[in-house]
Chain A
Amino acid sequence: DAGITQSPRHKVTETGTPVTLRCHQTENHRYMYWYRQDPGHGLRLIHYSYGVKDTDKGEVSDGYSVSRSKTEDFLLTLESATSSQTSVYFCAIRSRDNSPLHFGNGTRLTVT
């Protein structure tokens, strides 16, 4: 187990409400990532972080923001949830260049 905890594991929310997903790691890894998984699209990168307060956008960042105030925590926020953001969200960590991503067990988000 890669020492990654995602919370909550499941969430149902209404369109227009803000939602924050949390990723917590115990590995002290530098890099942290948020992906979403959708049928027919595989895993797509939303945002990633390469250090405390250092973040950058991925392929599908519109409608999402992130924050990393501590090495161990990476938060993903949907400011105003939409039905198109119904998905499974995975956090991943990586220790250094030339190393693989290690994933958490995901958060299933449903926006009604």
Chain B
Amino acid sequence: DQQVKQNSPSLSVQEGRISILNCDYTNSMFDYFLWYKKYPAEGPTFLISISSIKDKNEDGRFTVFLNKSAKHLSLHIVPSQPGDSAVYFCAASVETGNQFYFGTGTSLTVIP
């Protein structure tokens, strides 16, 4: 059973606007969450993470929000750029654990 879910397979956004990618999880033991970006024929690249002791973490144009009560996290990209077009995966784990669980990915297209 999928413990991490990304329910939107694709998203299109105009350049300069905000992109919001969503992720839900079912395991309440998860306390470490990550976002990865993947271009075709490359491995996933780490973008940003958040620990469950926080509800927000920012890194430049990327912000991750965590809502523990809803078991929901989101990635905001502002402003969106054509180079952001890629597949985005969310992942979750227990901080002291070894296994990371990934969602199925959301393909983001930023339209110039």
What is the interface of chain A, defined by CB distance below 8 A to chain B? Answer: 4, 31, 33, 35, 40-45, 48, 50, 56, 58-59, 90, 92, 97-98, 100-106
B42–A42 contact, CB under 8 A? no
Task: Give min CB distance, A100 to chain B, whole Å.
Answer: 4
> With contacts A40-B104, A44-B102, A48-B99 known, is A98 near B42, CB below 8 A?
no
Bound-state Cα–Cα, A106 to B43, Å: 6
Q: What are some 27 contacts across the A-B interface (CB < 8 A)?
A: A31-B98, A33-B100, A40-B104, A41-B104, A42-B6, A42-B89, A42-B103, A42-B105, A43-B91, A45-B99, A45-B101, A48-B98, A56-B98, A59-B101, A90-B43, A92-B43, A97-B95, A97-B96, A98-B32, A98-B95, A100-B46, A101-B34, A101-B46, A102-B46, A103-B44, A103-B45, A106-B42
Q: A42-B104, A106-B43 are in contact. List 20 more A-B contacts (CB 8 A).
A: A4-B43, A33-B100, A41-B104, A42-B89, A42-B102, A45-B99, A48-B99, A58-B99, A59-B101, A90-B43, A90-B44, A92-B43, A98-B95, A101-B46, A102-B46, A103-B36, A103-B43, A103-B45, A106-B41, A106-B42
